[in-house]
Amino acid sequence: METSRDLEITVISGEGLRVGKKNVFVTVKSEFSCNVKATGVDKEGGSFPAWNEKLVVDLPMHARYVTLQVQCKAFSGVKVVGEAKVPTKDFVGGGFVPESYLRFLSYRLRDRKGEKNGIINISVRVKNSPENGAVASCSSQYSRRPWTGLPPAAGNPTNAGVVTGIPVWCSYQV
């Protein structure tokens, strides 16, 4: 059973950073992982930096979010400009499109006080997602099963209705 997968995040750009300084870069870290990846430093962008850098991070199967931090190199050290926690449900599972599809996403950055401080634009693709539903999310696991049912009762007017339902699984403690 897989315990993690590779997540390809392209950090595209930032918009409206209130710091307005140069030497801005982004760090990417998934929940429950010690592995931190970073872009190069944008020295010219100021409030509208551009990186266009592809980073591959390890995404544990049970991770709920990926943290993006925009940081600034200053004379006194590194300062966090803003942070966004990206929910993994935005690109893993859901059943609407395969996990390996490229998604373009934008998130609001918040500074340490929780105030808005710009937007970060990224693209995300799950590189080695489980394709057979063995460890996939519920919706994608069951969407691969063919729909089955009983044929309508021919010539019997008492059984001419249609019944629909949603399966519910409960785990009872006995």
Give the pLDDT mean for 136-149. Answer: 40
Instruction: Quick: pLDDT tens for 16-49.
Output: 998 666 789 999 999 888 889 999 999 888 889 9
Label residue 98 by pLDDT band (50, 70, 90).
confident
Average pLDDT, the chain: 78
Task: Identify the pLDDT of residue 99.
Answer: 72
Label residue 1 by pLDDT band (50, 70, 90).
low
More confident of the two residues 148 and 99: 99
In sequence order, what E strands does the chain have? 4-15, 24-30, 36-38, 50-60, 65-74, 77-87, 103-110, 116-126
Give the SS3 label for residue 140.
helix
Q: Which two tokens stand for residue 19?
A: 């710091």
pLDDT of residue 122 exceeding 90, the answer is yes
Label residue 133 by pLDDT band (50, 70, 90).
very low
Contact 12, 71 (CB under 8 A): no
| Radius of gyration of the chain measured on its C-alpha atoms | 22
Instruction: Quick: pLDDT tens for 66-76.
Output: 999 999 988 88
Instruction: Quick: pLDDT tens for 40-76.
Output: 999 888 889 999 999 999 999 899 999 999 999 888 8
User: Whose structure tokens read 């551009």?
Assistant: 50
User: Whose structure tokens read 């392209």?
Assistant: 10
pTM > 0.75: yes or no: no
Contact 137, 94 (CB under 8 A): yes
Q: Which two tokens stand for residue 11?
A: 């950090």
